[in-house]
């Protein structure tokens, strides 16, 4: 039944229970058990749930707006008082910017000129009361103080009128980018006891005392906090203490997301790593920090920034991580060491090796990781290990390593080893690439250091390949790779056509090549030309022509 079937009955100035009853009894199945005299039945008693008028009105408004019929919904609200509140409620639930809300004040109160919004005078109490009806409908608020023209006079006017009440009393989620020193003290105006999601990125060089004084108020202002995200915090004792005290004061049963760019006190760490419903965690581990035994049965994703010391890993030994799916690590130390070996030995004592589908490691240093420690993680779909090449290529990935990874992780969809490939002629050969394509049929994105010369020498690759005596023949055309990053890998002059042919035979579904040299640009253009005229496309059903573009 469409929204207009309901609207034709509800579009009257007065809607009573008898009207609604008559409408629905003609449409409900005859075997539905309903009272015979609805006028004598108390509201909600034995009545079918669909007979709630307010609910029906909201569903009609929601369906109209969800179907892209915004103008129709607005016209309906303007022509029928019954629909005004439901349509306005739905519209404001999807409106998350502050300026459209401020424009609900009488036009003589505000002025907008050259993108700057100002108040001409303080709203009267009557104007403010009418305005508050719209403010209380907002469920989400997103601010960017570098773009949203919120002058101090606007904020002071809001503070004057709201007194001790929230400016948006029904707000559920608050997000602020580039929260500057002048704006941070006004953040409590926007959150409310119903706010469960807070996401704030603080501007650099903001005084720690200003940040800490606001953070410490959140548990009182928002007693139902479920998600906390703070970025760009200063790592000093004032902020660390404020964040830690905030965590200790929160309702621990509610928290499911804690992404905070700050170390914590020992007392706060004891609480954090045993939150019963925590599912998403980003945390900073500073210096030689020891973790308590980790018991996070509902954790699905964890992101850790750490220094060079690895003692904190022991907190995960035999940890309860029954639902863990994603792990990411960031380290800016110049001495990373055998992190993967230490990680593998600890996490192998948990169930994570059977549930982990994504592993990411990022560093801006050069590094030669030992990938063999990751072989037990057979469920991985995404493996990204990002490092830089300084004074020569630091990538030591060869055919043997790629083949072992492909054998151990057949479900891989994204494989990135190293940063953008450099000009050093090293890495995997065509043989390793073919082995990867043959085993990882779901592979969609690939970035590894490989030898361009080896592809130039394989202008014609066998249609089928038998990998070992014990494995069946696998057809490479089943590999779904669409996105290949080649960076500045050197290739022989005049080899563009041969390399394009080889890539199309190994990866017949390839759609995009990211390159950093003119030579690879020629390869990308050649692949696109071959696709345009239909070469190799017929070998992979459903493959269309895609763009092949260059990058930095």
Q: 128-151: per-residue pLDDT in tens?
A: 888 888 888 889 999 887 776 667
**Burial classification of residue 83, based on how many CB atoms lie within 10 Å of its CB (0-12 exposed, 13-18 middle, 19 or more buried):** buried
| Average pLDDT value for residue range 30-59 | 57
Does 78 share its domain with 99? no
Distance of CA 81 to the CA centre of its chain: 40
Residue 339 lies in a domain: no
Q: Which segment, 34-38, 73-77, 491-495, 529-533, is predicted with the most confidence on average?
A: 491-495
Tokens of 311: 């003692």
Q: What are 185's strand-pairing partners?
A: none
Residue 9 lies in a domain: yes
Q: What is the pLDDT of residue 198?
A: 98
Residue 117 lies in a domain: yes
218, 249, 272 - which closes a domain: 272
**Beta-strand (E) ranges in 126-169?**
140-144
Does 78 share its domain with 100? no
Torsions phi, psi for 491 (to 5 deg): -135, 150
| Average pLDDT value for residue range 462-487 | 63
Residue 408 to residue 442: CA distance in whole angstroms: 14
| Average pLDDT value for residue range 447-474 | 63
Does 52 share its domain with 151? no
Q: Say if CB 163 and CB 131 are below 8 A apart.
A: no
Residue 360 lies in a domain: no
Residue 439 to residue 70: CA distance in whole angstroms: 49
537 pLDDT tier (thresholds 50, 70, 90): very low
pLDDT exceeds 60 at position 469: no
Where is pLDDT greater, at 463 or 139? 139
Residue 215 to residue 221: CA distance in whole angstroms: 10
Residue 128 to residue 131: CA distance in whole angstroms: 5
535 pLDDT tier (thresholds 50, 70, 90): low
Q: What percent of the chain has pLDDT over 70?
A: 82
Q: Say if CB 389 and CB 366 are below 8 A apart.
A: yes
pLDDT in tens, 97-106: 888 888 888 8
Q: What is the pLDDT of residue 411?
A: 96
Does 114 share its domain with 60? no
Q: Say if CB 306 and CB 330 are below 8 A apart.
A: yes
272, 289, 304 - which closes a domain: 272
Residue 77 to residue 462: CA distance in whole angstroms: 67
Q: What's the whole-model pTM score?
A: 0.79
Which residues are CB-contacts of 7 (< 8 A; sequence separation ≥ 6)?
60, 76
Q: What is the pLDDT of residue 460?
A: 47
SS3 444: coil
Does 107 share its domain with 75? no
71-75, 232-236, 355-359, range with the lowest pLDDT: 71-75
Does 243 share its domain with 123? yes
Residue 407 lies in a domain: no
Q: What are 179's strand-pairing partners?
A: 202
| Average pLDDT value for residue range 192-218 | 94
Instruction: Tell me the torsion sign for CA atoms 91, 95, 100, 104.
Output: positive
Instruction: Tell me the torsion sign for CA atoms 336, 342, 344, 347.
Output: negative
12 pLDDT tier (thresholds 50, 70, 90): very low
Torsions phi, psi for 113 (to 5 deg): -140, 125
| Average pLDDT value for residue range 320-337 | 91
Residue tagged 């001409």 (tokens): 120
Q: What is the pLDDT of residue 21?
A: 52
483 pLDDT tier (thresholds 50, 70, 90): very high
Tokens of 367: 């590094």
DSSP 290: P
465's enclosing H/E stretch is strand 464-465
Torsions phi, psi for 459 (to 5 deg): -65, -30
pLDDT exceeds 70 at position 472: no
Does 100 share its domain with 31? no
The CATH number of the domain where 204 resides is what?
3.80.10
Residue 496 lies in a domain: no
Q: What is the pLDDT of residue 546?
A: 45
- CA 322, 326, 330 angle in degrees (round to 5)? 130
Q: Say if CB 98 and CB 105 are below 8 A apart.
A: no
Residue 399 lies in a domain: no
| Average pLDDT value for residue range 182-200 | 92
Does 61 share its domain with 104? no
Q: What is the pLDDT of residue 29?
A: 54
Range of the domain at 120: 95-272
336 pLDDT tier (thresholds 50, 70, 90): confident
Residue 112 lies in a domain: yes
Tokens of 428: 């995997």
Residue 303 to residue 282: CA distance in whole angstroms: 4
Distance of CA 359 to the CA centre of its chain: 16
Does 69 share its domain with 99? no
Does 109 share its domain with 184? yes
Mean residue pLDDT across the chain = 82
Does 106 share its domain with 30? no
pLDDT exceeds 80 at position 397: yes
| Average pLDDT value for residue range 70-87 | 77
58, 82, 106 - which closes a domain: 82
142-151, 165-174, 530-539, range with the lowest pLDDT: 530-539
Does 27 share its domain with 112? no
The pairing of beta strand 464-465 with beta strand 474-475: antiparallel
- CA 411, 306, 268 angle in degrees (round to 5)? 105
Q: Say if CB 183 and CB 150 are below 8 A apart.
A: yes
Tokens of 294: 């980790």
pLDDT exceeds 90 at position 13: no
- How many domains, the chain? 2
Residue 297 to residue 322: CA distance in whole angstroms: 6
pLDDT exceeds 90 at position 263: yes
- Distances in Å between the Cα of 264 and the Cα atoms of 199, 227, 260, 271 are 18, 17, 9, 10
Where is pLDDT greater, at 478 or 526? 526
């Amino acid at each position: 039944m469409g929204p207009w079937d309901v609207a034709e009955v509800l579009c009257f100035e007065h809607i009573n229970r008898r009207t609604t009853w008559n409408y629905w009894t003609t449409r409900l199945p005859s075997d539905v058990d309903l009272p015979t005299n609805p006028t004598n039945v108390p509201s909600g008693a034995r009545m079918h749930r669909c007979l709630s008028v307010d609910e029906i009105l909201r569903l009609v408004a929601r369906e109209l707006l969800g179907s892209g019929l915004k103008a129709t919904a607005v016209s309906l609200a303007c022509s029928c008082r019954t629909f005004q509140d439901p349509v306005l409620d739905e519209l404001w639930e999807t409106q998350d910017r502050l300026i459209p809300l401020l424009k609900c004040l009488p036009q003589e109160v505000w002025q907008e000129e050259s993108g700057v919004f100002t108040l001409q005078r303080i709203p009267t109490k009557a104007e403010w009361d009418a305005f508050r009806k719209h403010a209380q409908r907002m469920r989400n608020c997103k601010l960017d103080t570098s773009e949203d023209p919120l002058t101090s006079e606007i904020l002071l006017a809001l503070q004057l009128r709201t007194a001790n009440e929230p400016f948006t009393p029904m707000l559920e989620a608050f997000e602020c980018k580039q929260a500057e020193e002048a704006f941070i003290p006004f953040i409590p105006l926007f959150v409310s006891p119903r706010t469960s999601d807070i996401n704030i990125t603080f501007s650099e060089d903001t005084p720690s005392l200003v940040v800490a004084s606001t953070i410490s108020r959140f548990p009182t202002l928002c007693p139902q906090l479920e998600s906390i995200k703070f970025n760009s915090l200063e790592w000093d004792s004032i902020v660390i203490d404020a964040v830690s005290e905030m965590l200790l004061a929160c309702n621990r049963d509610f928290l499911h997301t804690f992404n905070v760019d700050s170390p914590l006190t020992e007392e706060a760490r004891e609480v954090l790593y045993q939150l019963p419903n925590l599912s998403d965690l980003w945390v900073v581990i500073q210096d030689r920090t020891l973790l308590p035994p980790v018991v996070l049965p509902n954790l699905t994703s964890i992101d850790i920034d750490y220094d060079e010391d690895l003692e904190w890993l022991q907190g995960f030994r035999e940890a309860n991580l029954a639902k863990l799916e994603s792990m990411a690590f960031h380290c800016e130390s110049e001495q990373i060491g055998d992190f993967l070996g230490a990680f593998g030995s600890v996490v192998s004592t948990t169930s994570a090796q059977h549930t982990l589908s994504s592993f990411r490691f990022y560093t801006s240093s050069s590094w030669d990781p030992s990938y063999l420690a990751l072989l037990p993680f057979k469920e991985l779909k995404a493996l990204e290990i990002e490092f830089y090449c300084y004074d020569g290529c630091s990538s030591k990935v060869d055919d043997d390593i790629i083949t072992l990874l492909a054998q151990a992780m057949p479900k891989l969809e994204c494989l990135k080893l190293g940063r953008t490939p450099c000009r050093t002629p090293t890495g995997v050969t065509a043989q390793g690439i073919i082995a990867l394509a043959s085993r990882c049929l779901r592979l969609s994105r690939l970035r590894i250091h490989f030898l361009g010369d080896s592809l130039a020498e394989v202008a014609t690759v066998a249609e089928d390949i038998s990998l070992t005596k014990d494995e069946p023949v696998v057809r490479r055309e089943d590999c779904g790779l669409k996105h290949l990053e080649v960076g500045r890998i050197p290739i022989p002059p005049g080899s563009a056509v041969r390399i394009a042919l080889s890539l199309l035979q190994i990866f017949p579904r390839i759609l995009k090549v990211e390159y950093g040299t003119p030579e690879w640009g020629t390869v990308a253009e050649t692949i696109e030309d071959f696709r345009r005229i239909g070469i190799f496309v017929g070998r992979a059903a459903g493959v269309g022509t895609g763009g092949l573009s260059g990058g930095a």
